[in-house]
Structure 1
Amino acid sequence: MDTERHWQDARSRVFGEFGLKPRPGFAERAKGVHYTECGSLMARETGKPQLADDMAQALLSHFMALVAEDPVTMPGAAALVRLAARHVPLAVASNCPLDVVEFSLARVGLRSYFAHVVVAGDGLLPKPHPDVYATAVRLCSVRPEEAMAVEDSVTGVESARRAGMRVLGVGPRPAEEGADQADLWLRTLADPELQAWAHAWANGAA
């Protein structure tokens, strides 16, 4: 899911709602961060640490409204999910709340393709900790080195790498340290070489 666009819009709305402005580069620092930690980051960087909880809740509220209004998949993602689901178990490992993940996937018709949805909470630490990915791999009954994560943030890449997985980075390659932990970065999941490889792999797995 292309959730980062909605998270970014939600953060902008929260800053405006509270009459605050982020420091330069905030979008990159916040990318992939769990919404509660993001609320704390927003409050801390604007000198209003006492607003952390309020900003986190406002952030989640705005994000859910944006997703409900316009759920979007990354280009090429839906086709890859449907193809891969015929041959291997798929799982979601996310920092988003469970109801957000379930709702988003259902809205775009992809929920049934994932055997498991794992989110932070109930003892599982959020990314960049490896908990959600380690749990997803275990539920899929595969070894970490046999699994691949698809990520669009350095926070997510670090989480998957710490869980022992291979990692495909998608989207503009982040400038911050840690992007090189991904095995490969592609601008889009619609990349012709990736699509060709996926179909060749699927034909070999059939």
Structure 2
Amino acid sequence: MTASRILSWTPAAIVFDCDGTLMDTERHWQDARDLVLDGYGFAPAPGFAERAKGLHYTECGTLMAVESGRPDLAEDMTSQLLTEFRTLVAEEPMTMPGARELVHDVRRFAPLAVASNCPAEVVESCLDTAGLLECFDHIVVPDDTIRPKPHPDVYLTAARLCGVDPADTLAVEDSHCGVQAAVGAGMRVLGAGSWPSPETVALVDLWVRALDNPEVRLWACDRVPSQTTGNVPAT
């Protein structure tokens, strides 16, 4: 990792992942996957949670069906997965530690966007419930022309909408799938969450346990433009 590439740098824009990065919803996805699989009488295979983390929900539904030996159930599992997830999020929306504070700090010096594999209405509902939706200039999710992570499309689109070069953009992620997308877009990457695999560590510039990390908070606060006081000299 090359932490100085972030901690000594001011990005022109910052793009956040949503699930597991801004919102504490990764556990909801895991619970939703377990509920769907249990409903069909299947149990998750070892390592399934890590393989599914960060995937677009349609790809996750397909993965569930394939690993259960019932690929014909992919469409039904996908639909039920999204339904269960929405129910769980509505019951208990929560932000990740430090996410709210970091967003409010960095929005004062850079345009912000969200790049997520979730449906737009789910992302917007989560952020609105958390009081963060108004902080973001753009919400980018996969569609007919934008491929999901690990493709770089959502990050490239977010940078374009923010009017900046991807190389001048910071991505904030929590999954290997998302990190791959951000690196593929040519962005510097701040990772947050439990310590990841060596493959993920090798890709990011800095990994922290949570976004309330003191170094990250100090970095953000140091880049907030100072406020002038008193009379402004005439020109």
Q: TM-score, normalised by structure 1?
A: 0.96
Distance 1:160 1:205 in 2: 33
Please state how far the C-alpha of 1:176 moved relative to its aligned partner.
Answer: 6.0
Matched, 1:122 2:153: no
Aligned to 1:192: 214
Please state how far the C-alpha of 1:2 moved relative to its aligned partner.
Answer: 1.9
Aligned to 1:42: 64
Q: What is the DSSP-based 3-state SS (H/G/I as helix, E as strand, rest coil) of the residue aligned with 1:83?
A: helix
**Is the CA contact 2:108–2:225 (under 8 Å) kept in the aligned structure 1?**
no
Q: How many residues align?
A: 206
Q: What is the DSSP-based 3-state SS (H/G/I as helix, E as strand, rest coil) of the residue aligned with 2:101?
A: helix
Alignment of 1:4-43 (within 5 A): 4-43=26-65
Residue range with higher mean Cα deviation, 178-187 or 55-64: 178-187
Please state how far the C-alpha of 1:205 moved relative to its aligned partner.
Answer: 9.7
Q: Give the residue type in structure 2 aligned to 1:120.
A: P
Distance 1:189 1:37 in 2: 28
Structure 1 or 2, whichever has the larger Rg, is 2
Distance 1:10 1:59 in 2: 6
Q: Mind listing any 5+ residue stretches in structure 2 that lack a counterpart?
A: 1-22, 229-235
- Change in Cα spacing, 1:205 to 1:120, as seen in structure 2 (3 Å) is farther
Q: What is the DSSP-based 3-state SS (H/G/I as helix, E as strand, rest coil) of the residue aligned with 2:223?
A: helix
**Is the CA contact 2:174–2:193 (under 8 Å) kept in the aligned structure 1?**
yes
Distance 2:62 2:187 in 1: 29
Alignment of 1:4-153 (within 5 A): 4-153=26-175
Distance 1:130 1:175 in 2: 20
Q: What is the DSSP-based 3-state SS (H/G/I as helix, E as strand, rest coil) of the residue aligned with 2:164?
A: coil
Q: What is the DSSP-based 3-state SS (H/G/I as helix, E as strand, rest coil) of the residue aligned with 2:207?
A: strand
Q: TM-score, normalised by structure 2?
A: 0.85
Q: What is the DSSP-based 3-state SS (H/G/I as helix, E as strand, rest coil) of the residue aligned with 1:181?
A: coil
Distance 2:144 2:111 in 1: 23
Distance 2:63 2:182 in 1: 23
Q: What is the DSSP-based 3-state SS (H/G/I as helix, E as strand, rest coil) of the residue aligned with 2:199?
A: coil
Please state how far the C-alpha of 1:126 moved relative to its aligned partner.
Answer: 0.2
Q: Give the residue type in structure 1 aligned to 2:154.
A: V
Q: Percent identity?
A: 57
Distance 1:176 1:149 in 2: 19
- Change in Cα spacing, 1:101 to 1:17, as seen in structure 2 (3 Å) is same
**Is the CA contact 2:140–2:154 (under 8 Å) kept in the aligned structure 1?**
yes
Please state how far the C-alpha of 1:122 moved relative to its aligned partner.
Answer: 2.5
Superimposed CA distance per residue, residues 8-54 of structure 1 (whole angstroms, 9 cap, x where no aligned partner): 11111111111111210100000000000000100101101000010
Higher relative CO (CA 8 A, sep ≥ 6), structure 1 or 2? 2
Distance 1:161 1:100 in 2: 25
Superimposed CA distance per residue, residues 136-176 of structure 1 (whole angstroms, 9 cap, x where no aligned partner): 00000111111101100000000000001000110012226
**Is the CA contact 1:87–1:205 (under 8 Å) kept in the aligned structure 2?**
no
Please state how far the C-alpha of 1:127 moved relative to its aligned partner.
Answer: 0.0
Superimposed CA distance per residue, residues 38-95 of structure 1 (whole angstroms, 9 cap, x where no aligned partner): 0010010110100001011111001111111111111000011111112211000000
Whose helix fraction is larger, Structure 1's or Structure 2's?
1
Distance 2:124 2:213 in 1: 27
Q: Mind listing any 5+ residue stretches in structure 1 that lack a counterpart?
A: none
